[in-house]
Amino acid sequence: MPENLKALRGRIKSINMTKKITRAMEMVSAAKLRKTEGVMKASRPFMEKIQLLLGRLALSTGAQEHPLFQKSETGVPLLVVFTSDRGLCGAFNANILKLAVARLKSEPGLKVFVIGRKGRDYLRRYFATRIVREMTDATLTGEFTNAIADELMNVYLDGRYSRIELLYPHFISTVYNKPTMERYLPLEPAAFGVSATDALTPVDYILEPSPERVFEVVLPRFLKSKIFLTLAESMTSEHSSRMMAMNNATKNCNELASGLTLRLNKARQAVITTEIIEIVSGAEALKG
């Protein structure tokens, strides 16, 4: 059966239009990636310095007596899940939600604080009763992340939750991010890079003006910086995943367009050949 030339031309036109869209989305994601990656890299030195400071103080008596270091005997565990508000970013959200679902199934009492429309929509469908808080339209600003950190600290200090964990995509490179789960509260020496050997060595620091005042200032800053860096890594991973997905989509459009163009040329050549044969046959018939 001969190819329909009009249908082939229509499909090629549609694919080329789709290619323009995917190419534009790839360029937009690349621009956003550069911006969020710059913010993420700029915030890491502060986080490393404050973590180094707290690592030296985490073994002191004042630290161990601070409420944020105390393990709560009441409440249920809470998992904070970071996802994106938009799709078209490959397996970015699927990888995070796969790990979240595995934790929810293995720990019946676990509650969820979900950030991102995609995660909210999915978990609402299967674990609606486990969601205690949801946020969308996340922005990489201090006001947004500080509000999350303050809320998490308040609900933990109230004894509502026994522990709080973060589930987010850890940005490793432009082509790879890894779903990562980390303890957020209660704080523990391991969170600051303190080894097991160091933990066995008693340390008693002299803190001025007082241990309570030092931890009152430093610990909230550490926890707020942790949320900010986590959201920065999540957004950077999202943009890199979308950029790679749109790049692959553009390549697929090129391959499809090339294949259809070849089929169009073959079909057109077949039509031309058929017409030539008909003309020659008609001329021969007239001669006879």
C-beta neighbour count of 242 within 10 angstroms:
24
Burial class (CB in 10 A: 0-12, 13-18, 19+), 223: buried
Contact call for residues 261 and 11 (beta carbons, < 8 A):
no
Token pair 């299967």 is found at 126
Angle CA 75–83–127, to nearest 5: 50
CA distances from 232 to 21, 90, 227, 228, 240 (A): 26, 19, 8, 6, 12
Residue 197: helix, strand or coil by DSSP?
helix
Residues 96 and 225: their CA atoms lie apart, in Å, by 22
Where in the sequence numbering do the catalytic residues fall?
A: 89
